[in-house]
Copies of this chain bind each other. A is one copy, B any other.
Amino acid sequence: ARPKVGYFYTGQTHDPLLFDGLFETKVAEIMIPPIFIKQESSVYDAVTMLFMYDIGTLFVAENQQLLGIVSRKDLLRTTVTGGDLNKMPVAMIMTRMPNLVTISSEDRLLDAGYKLIEHEIDSIPVMDAVDGITVVGKLSKTSVLRHFVTEAMKQK
């Protein structure tokens, strides 16, 4: 273990402890349980669930298989254009696999952060690192940012 003060050999321009704590953390350590909805569920029910759980994204699944994602943005687009929200199924408005950006539970938080920014998405499904197809969690912009802020607070 590295002592708190003293002389250290360093060939790097950054402290590996701070960098690792922030960015090398595994996705599995930060991810949260996703909220699932069925593709037959109505748009109205999806909106209700967003507010009940106070989240921004629902995962659409069937038999543990991820079919798609429906976001607050998708739902707003639909609710404002009208139609019978109680009849319209989530399947009609979700972003469907394989057009989804996902990440592995063993990937680093930096990879996750990069994908969230690069693809301009609010959250990303975390897939099992072994089988690659089972959804094991969700990582949101909020959870990544919370980790960064919490780690930084520990430093000062």
Contact = CB atoms under 8 A, between A and B. Distances in A.
Contacts of A4: 13
Contact of A50 (B15, B47, B76): B76
A17 B14 contact: yes
A148 to B, nearest CB: 5
A8 interface: yes
A17 B50 CA distance: 40
A87 interface: no
Interface in A22-41: 22-23
Given A44-B80, A144-B145, A5 B11 contact: yes
Copies in the complex: 2
A145 to B, nearest CB: 5
A149 interface: yes
B73 A23 contact: no
Contacts of A116: 145
A130 interface: no
A5 B10 contact: yes
A94 to B, nearest CB: 16
A47 B47 CA distance: 16
Interface of A: 4-11, 13-15, 17-19, 22-23, 44, 47, 50-51, 54, 72-73, 75-77, 79-80, 85, 110, 113-114, 116-117, 120, 141-142, 144-146, 148-149, 152-153, 155-156
